[in-house]
Amino acid sequence: MKRLKTIILLMMVALLPTAALASESAEGEELDIPEIVLEHLADSYEWHIASYQGHHISIPLPIILRSASDNPGQKWYFCTAHSLPSQFFFSEEHHGKIYERVGGEEVRPLDLSITKSVLQIWIVVAVLIVVFLSCARWYKTHDAKSEAPKGFVGAMEMIVMTIHDDLIKSSIGEKHYRPYAPYLLTVFFFILTCNLIGLIPVFPGGANVTGNINITFFLAVCTMLAINLFANKEYWKEIFWPEVPLFLKAYPAPVMPLIELFGVFTKPFALMIRLFANMMAGHAVILSFTCVIFLGWSMGVGFGMGLNIFSIIMLLFMNALELLVAFVQAYVFTMLSAVFIGLAHKEHHAE
């Protein structure tokens, strides 16, 4: 009986994203699966919860704009998506971003709005603060040398020590790892929490933060700065004067230095694309299988029953797989960042 209840609960969780599609299917409208998937993956100025009888239930988010016009009367605007001033509009050509009509031209204003992704990041930060402050409180009230932590605090200690000792310390080296450990641990738990909360299909989860290339770009830039700003001279020597035959690094053209210099930018680029592509693809597959349920019913009862069973099984499988991917992607991003930082602190070995 307990197993049956667990299976039913998992099925309900897997089918929760279909609430946003139910109204379209009930009204007999043709489903545009690519448009629906892209709409759910994209950032937005409101948090859509569900649709009921053609009415969208959503949480309006604050829009903060600075006008690009020369009108000194009012430069800043504070509103929501439903009360947007007339000179502003949502541009379909630019993925729903806000543009302004100035002198017959479409201009992009300064946009400091609290979008869905921004709010999701704040929620993730709040969760991490609560988690680590509660763990820190346990260590303040207990003697860790004589009493081992149990339960949630013990699990967090295990994860932290695994990432700290087995990944960061071993990849960078015992001599240089300490300054980078706080950053790498923060990146790991931020990515992991974003991935896990993003799998929750209803508020306060569901936002595709790590599937947003702007977020992964920022994380990759932080890693690139950590690599290159504090690298030692051996690192730069291997880039501009590598140990290869002279004709490959000086005459007739500095081929190897150019390739190595290009690698300075390709390493963080690989970090950015790997995290972005894997997380976006997982969300897209889950949403696509959700759409298949309604697509099957539109073909008839026979197709609907067959595709429903197939889609539910695949949804359960993909959600379970995404739980694994959530940890793997956070681990891989942290591991590669630590490896790249370790390569920037190579010691010179005299022959």
- Residue 1: which pLDDT band, with cuts at 50, 70 and 90? very low
From residue 93, give the alpha-carbon distance in Å to each of 66, 97, 106, 318, 331. 21, 9, 11, 32, 36
Q: Which has the minimum average pLDDT: 13-17, 127-131, 213-217?
A: 13-17
Structure tokens at 266: 């390709």
Mean pLDDT value of segment 326-347: 90
Q: Which has the minimum average pLDDT: 81-90, 178-187, 206-215, 284-293?
A: 284-293
Q: Which of 106-110, 118-122, 322-326 has the highest mean pLDDT?
A: 118-122
Q: Give the span between the Cα atoms of 17 and 286, in whole angstroms.
A: 9
- Residue 178: which pLDDT band, with cuts at 50, 70 and 90? very high
Give me the helices (H) in the chain, please: 2-15, 19-26, 33-41, 116-141, 151-161, 170-172, 181-198, 213-228, 233-240, 246-249, 255-299, 301-343
Residue 346 CB contacts under 8 Å (≥ 6 apart), including other chains: 232, 234, 235, 238
180: closest CA among 315, 331, 334, 312? 334
User: Coil, helix or strand for 60?
Assistant: strand
Q: Is the pLDDT of residue 320 over 90?
A: no
Of all residues in the chain, the percent with pLDDT exceeding 90 is 25
The partner residues of 114 in beta bridges, in order of sequence, read none
Q: Count other Cβ atoms within 10 Å, centred on residue 220.
A: 24
Residue 212 CB contacts under 8 Å (≥ 6 apart), including other chains: 43, 117, 276
pLDDT tens digits for 203-260? 777 788 888 888 999 999 999 999 999 888 888 888 887 777 776 777 777 778 888 8
Q: What is the pLDDT of residue 191?
A: 94
